[in-house]
Chain A
């Protein structure tokens, strides 16, 4: 899982770059984004929403005010002295059951994970767990010298290790791993130039070590490649091999799939005309294209024609309705 929890790494890097440029002008102290405005209202709103819409009736009695009170103790601490353990009470109050076979760990594919997880209904990555949801995309810290919140900037991992946001995600990641059970899924980006499995990262350092062997049946790795993207690594290669060997050494049963089909189909929504997303003959013959305005008709027609030539099947093309 990327740093800053579910926030996309590249977006954060861009933000940090902009902040650096701004920092030169404004004199901001840290490299990270400042405290989110209306932090408390956003936090409470997300807690209320998650509790009422996503938790079971028995768990619905989460006291969001108490959870917020437990969380905000870190807002009184020096922004470079916040430890993961400072979130222990917050985690204790916001913990809830993690369904079996629903845990999804990931690196470098935030958007895909969010789309595929379907808000916790298909799978439940950390941002679809209450203690991950409340902090998602947010930033917070106290001022270095003073008691108020720092809205200008907050320390990033380069500024200091024990900053509020990193410690939050470390603590949340640890809990998430400890509560995961059954089949564990891991989605990696095989088009990432630096390697699909970051050897130093949240997944490597704060999730894998806390997986509970006695609760986990097996681990399934999906190495996804971007459509029209490079195949930098696949199963059994490079950093993926490092991950596989590590899991084996730890005694986990694991398997690896390249371009896991359901996720691949999701990627095709955006690239429906790409050859990688061409539907085969059975699918092409059941398609009825009723309009002349869509560019994918060309690809479908070509495929259909080829299939017709190849199999001698009769193809019916509907006239456009206008």
Chain B
């Protein structure tokens, strides 16, 4: 067999040498091209199966990771990609007005988080104040301080039978014609779980400057109160907060609180009520430092 050299040589090259060179080039390049194609294909497949290309998914995934890595490292074993997939599977490609509790059951089963006893804070028509309070009193948990509440807070999402996308625009509002939206059912389901797992003394922040402090039409009044477990929860404390410089429409003495008390007592749970719970009052005072009810002896 002839001895071939690979060093570049000017002049004529035998044809068989050229074809061997071509073969070698192909032999090297083809696998590389093939590998590249496979890699790109895998990436694209992973991207679509991760579902993180849309806004809602990116936010949910980012929040889940921040929550389990930075804020609550005791939950670092939670698989955020799986949580995202289980979350979106509940509503993608489905009728956006006909979502069921069972659709979210896999998500509820997947994420188990125990809120310590005596640290559960419900709220009704007082979301902002409740969150400001729990943001400072970090051992207290509102629903939105738990993993499931945290990833979904303030977001809007829905599916559509015609697509497998996660949508955040043109989602139907909840009304008589569309009673079970993806978001409304989500909050019902996680609120129920949140109430069921509460224990010890639980708290609720109510709004005494709104229509009524307690309303059976609210999530608290229709879902949470009725899912408190008497074996686990022995006391409910209500804080009826009034806007500083605002109207006092309702209070611990009002009839809606009497109604709440009777519902709670009937479930064998003790009930206490306090108007303008002081630590929460301080939170309100930050915005009205000059108001008489906020004057602090320095």
- Contact status of A269 and B289, CB under 8 A, knowing A38-B69, A38-B80, A293-B272: no
Contact B278 A282, beta carbon cutoff 8 Å: no
Partner of B65, one of A45, A282, A294: A45
Verify B273–A262 contact, CB threshold 8 A.
Answer: no
Q: Is A25 interfacial (CB 8 A cutoff)?
A: no
Across-interface contacts of B69 in A (CB, < 8 A): 36-38, 42
Asked if A280 contacts B63 (CB within 8 A), the reply is no
Establish whether residues A321 and B272, one from each chain, have CB atoms under 8 Å apart when the complex forms.
Answer: yes
The answer to whether A259 touches B272 (Cβ under 8 A) is no
Q: Which B residue sits closest to A296, measured CB to CB?
A: B278
Given contacts A48-B58, A52-B55, is CB(A276)–CB(B292) below 8 Å? no
Q: Are A45 and B62 in contact (CB under 8 A)?
A: yes
Q: For A64, what are the chain B residues with a Cβ–Cβ distance below 8 Å?
A: 58
Q: Does B154 have its Cβ within 8 Å of any Cβ on chain A?
A: yes
Answer whether A269 and B298 are a contact pair too, CB < 8 Å, given A38-B65, A288-B275, A296-B278: no
* B28 at interface by CB-CB < 8 Å: no
> A270 contacts which chain B residues (CB < 8 A)?
136-137, 279
Q: Which of A45, A262, A266, A291 contacts B66 (CB 8 A)?
A: A45
B297 touches A280 (CB 8 A): yes
Tell whether A61 is near chain B: CB-to-CB under 8 Å: no
CB of A178 within 8 Å of the partner chain: no
Q: Does B103 contact A (CB under 8 A)?
A: no
B61: chain A residues at CB < 8 Å are 41, 45
A53 interface contact, C-beta 8 A: yes
* CB of B263 closer than 8 Å to a CB of A: no
How does the 8 Å CB contact mask read for A226-263 relative to B, with 1 for contact and 0 for none?
00000000000000000000000000000000010111
B296 CB contact (under 8 Å) in A46, A118, A268, A296: A268
In the complex, what residues of B have CB within 8 A of residue A162's CB?
A: none
With known contacts A48-B55, A48-B58, A294–B274 Cβ distance under 8 A? yes
Residues B294 and A283 in contact, CB atoms below 8 Å apart? yes
Distance in angstroms between the alpha carbons of A41 and B69 in the assembled complex: 12
- When distances are taken between beta carbons in the complex, the residues of chain A under 8 Å from B80 are 38, 41
Interface SS, B side: helix
Question: Measured between C-beta atoms, what is the minimum distance from A199 to chain B in Å?
Answer: 29
Identify A45's interface contact among B60, B287, B295, B298, CB under 8 A: B60
Cβ–Cβ < 8 Å partners of B298 in chain A: 259, 264, 276
Kindly state whether residue B184 has any CB partner on chain A within 8 Å: no
Whether A320 touches B272, Cβ cut-off 8 Å, given contacts A264-B296, A283-B294, A290-B252, is: yes
Q: Are B59 and A52 interface neighbours, CB within 8 A? A: yes
Say yes or no: is A63 at the interface (Cβ < 8 Å to chain B): no
Nearest Cβ in chain A — how far from B253, in angstroms? 8
CB distance from B119 to the nearest CB of A (A): 15
Q: Count the A residues whose beta carbon is within 8 Å of the partner chain — how many?
A: 53
User: Interface digits, B61-76 against A, CB 8 Å rule (1 contact, 0 not)?
Assistant: 1110110011000000
Tell me whether A81 is interfacial, beta carbon within 8 Å: no
A45 to B60, CA, bound (A): 7
A265 within 8 A of B: yes
Q: Which residue of the partner chain, among B62, B136, B276, contacts A115 with CB atoms under 8 Å?
A: B136
CB distance from B116 to the nearest CB of A (A): 18
Residues in A with CB closer than 8 Å to B66 are 42, 45-46, 137
Complex CA–CA separation, A322 to B70 (angstroms): 41
- Bound together, the chains give a CA A47 to CA B63 distance in angstroms of 11
- List residues 35-69 of chain A with CB under 8 A from any CB of chain B: 36-38, 41-49, 52-53, 64
How distant is B40 from chain A, measured CB to nearest CB, in Å? 16
A287, B276: Cβ atoms closer than 8 Å = yes
In the docked arrangement, what's the CA distance between A193 and B297, Å? 26
B240-298 residues at the A interface, CB under 8 angstroms: 251-253, 257, 261, 270-280, 282-283, 285-287, 289, 292-298
Q: Chain B's nearest CB lies how many Å from the CB of A174? A: 25
Q: Tell me whether B167 is interfacial, beta carbon within 8 Å.
A: no
A204 at the interface (CB under 8 A from B): no
Residues in B whose Cβ lies below 8 Å from that of A282:
292-293, 295
A104 → chain B closest CB, angstroms = 14
> Complex Cα distance A288/B270, Å?
20
Contact, CB under 8 Å: B59 / A269: no
Closest to B54 in A: A48
A145 in the interface (beta carbon within 8 A): no
**8 tightest A-B contacts by CB?**
A45-B62, A48-B58, A261-B289, A282-B292, A265-B285, A268-B282, A269-B282, A49-B59
- 13 A/B residue pairs, CB under 8 Å, sorted by A: A38-B69, A45-B62, A47-B58, A48-B55, A49-B62, A137-B70, A263-B286, A272-B282, A279-B297, A283-B292, A288-B275, A300-B278, A322-B271
Chain B contacts to A: CB under 8 angstroms: 52, 55, 58-63, 65-66, 69-70, 80, 132-133, 135-137, 154, 237, 251-253, 257, 261, 270-280, 282-283, 285-287, 289, 292-298
Given A38-B65, A45-B62, A282-B292: 11 more A-B contacts, CB < 8 Å = A49-B59, A49-B62, A116-B286, A137-B66, A262-B286, A266-B282, A275-B297, A279-B296, A279-B297, A283-B295, A289-B274
A residues at B contact (CB < 8 Å)? 36-38, 41-49, 52-53, 64, 114-116, 118, 137, 259, 261-266, 268-270, 272, 275-280, 282-283, 286-291, 293-294, 296, 300, 318, 320-322
